[in-house]
A and B are shown apart, each in its own frame.
Chain A
């Protein structure tokens, strides 16, 4: 008996499977950072887009996969970051980096206020509220012509620049997006295996948690729900700001319900048990889109929009039917099960 206690004086790395995680992070970082060496500008552009989706989806996984709360309106926070950045740089001529930072704080603040009220509700009704929030955001930015340029969109947003590179440079963007994605991944993984992360997971009723049990253990579930919401909004805002400085043109249509739904789909298909799911989910959907864009003209020729839509819908259904736990569940199965280290010693 005592042997076991001795053996577990330190937090076993395997509790958090930290070794594997670090290896995976290092590997994917290397892969992501070397891709540009072998790929042309178009695949890199696609990868930059994927990076934005990955970051937002990671936020969704924090909110849905960890805390178990649904949001159908995260495009609004993506847009909030983008428009805040855009307004601050074009109208108030702030530095884009400062704007990115302020936009994240602004979005976080808004999410805090909304979350404080919203999480008095639970379950599917949150989906309704967040959906309505997305509508409010969309119509507001479409109507505030003086501030946002209205439905036409906002133009001439200055690029981010660092050490002589600006985000007019595709590679700069690529590295910027993916380095931030990896940093946020590390942040999310750290969080997952920490006091705060455990608190979030403990109240996730969709994945074996229990709100009652969490509460009697002293966890302020309201506070943690709001925090998960705010963090996920800030992730989306950061992605939005980079997006705005990258495309330099933003329009309200981008930040509407389809995007909100898309990132949730990515989260489901990637797997919500881990922030890695964001990488897998975004990769799957973006890969699928590119595949359709590439193959449909060969298969049916000419005007292919409707075929792409049909195929996309069908593949989505099939994927959701056969991968209800997401791609990450396959990875989890493939990785050898953690053995109790006590038995080893």
Chain B
């Protein structure tokens, strides 16, 4: 019995359109996005675009609306105003899981690993979109379900070894260090096969050697063609890896450019850093 009553909405593009989607058009376009919780405006007409293969870093102090923006892109919050385009597909009124199936996934600031599962199972959940086995086939353990399971497992293991944690496959996530948990979260996100990775403060709480490891990993992912959007309030670490930097302050984009440009930007230094230099901002 095939178990699939997913509504095939406009979320999936026709194949031709997808092919027209060339490397030249940005992978992600955010246009005039505003967001308010009640009377509190969190984002004010923010626009930017991320070309394919870029690493975009968005910085801004706590409360600048960075996390909200990520949640709008991944669909966890409903878009109130403005447009978000992904691969020529407009993301509005699309459920988060459909957005994920289009190729966007997110690593949360608090990771949100599933503590009721082992590490490998966590990553296997990330492989959800790679198989179709439904309830009946799973429950009856049909050969097709087992084959699916095996392939999911292999993918999950490969992602886990990519982040160097295959030794911990059977551990419970809560027994890992914070840095290791971040890596598991990353492996889980990678397992979805997403083209755009949204990382919400991936560096927070990491030790120095873990930061280096993560940096290497991010470069490796970029090399594999994955586009990455990082949100961070620590700044100096990121300047080395970013292709493009955006500064948000109280919901407004106050600057955009290369790391070097941003470091020189007067407005950023005045408004956001209060006159201090970016280097001194290290927490």
Contacts and interface: CB of A to CB of B under 8 A. Distances in A.
Direct A–B contact in complex, judged by CB atoms less than 8 Å apart? yes
Interface of A: 1, 4-5, 8-12, 14-15, 187-188, 190-191, 194-199, 201-202, 204, 207-210, 212-223, 227, 231, 273, 338-343
B128 A194 contact: no
Contacts of B65: none
Contacts of A199: 125, 128
Contact of B148 (A190, A195, A202, A222): A195
A342 B117 contact: no
Contact of B97 (A215, A231, A343): A215
A207 B113 CA distance: 11
B207 interface: no
Contacts of B192: 217-218
B5 A1 contact: no
Given A199-B128, A210-B114, A216 B167 contact: no
B170 A12 contact: yes
Interface stretch (B17-25, B135-143, B216-224): B135-143
A216 B166 contact: no
Contact of B138 (A10, A195, A213, A342): A195
Given A208-B115, A218-B192, A340-B167, A191 B97 contact: no
Contacts of A231: 135
Interface string B105-125: 110100011111110110011
29 contacts: A1-B164, A4-B169, A8-B166, A11-B153, A187-B139, A190-B138, A190-B139, A194-B141, A194-B149, A195-B124, A195-B133, A195-B138, A196-B135, A201-B114, A208-B116, A210-B108, A212-B96, A213-B113, A214-B125, A215-B76, A215-B100, A216-B96, A216-B99, A221-B97, A222-B95, A223-B6, A231-B135, A340-B168, A342-B166
Ranked nearest first, the 9 interchain pairs of A and B with the lowest CB-CB distance are A208-B115, A194-B138, A215-B96, A218-B100, A213-B112, A218-B129, A210-B112, A208-B116, A187-B139
Nearest to A273: B116
Contacts of B140: 187, 190
A194 B133 contact: yes
Given A4-B161, A215-B100, A217-B188, A15 B120 contact: yes
A221 B128 CA distance: 12
Q: How large is the interface on B (under 10, 10 to 19, 20 to 34, 35 or more residues)?
A: 35 or more
A217 B125 contact: yes
Given A199-B128, A207-B116, A215-B96, A11 B150 contact: yes
Contacts of A207: 115-116
User: Which of B95, B129, B135, B157 has most A Cβ within 10 Å?
Assistant: B135
A317 B3 CA distance: 41
B105 A217 contact: yes
B215 interface: no
A14 B138 contact: no
Contacts of A218: 97, 100-101, 105, 128-129, 192
B262 interface: no
Contacts of A197: 138
B167 A196 contact: no
B56 interface: no
A342 B115 CA distance: 21
Contacts of B6: 220, 223
Contacts of B225: none
Given A190-B138, A195-B133, A196-B134, 17 more contacts: A1-B166, A8-B157, A11-B153, A194-B133, A194-B139, A194-B141, A195-B148, A196-B138, A196-B139, A198-B125, A212-B108, A216-B100, A217-B125, A218-B129, A220-B97, A223-B5, A341-B170
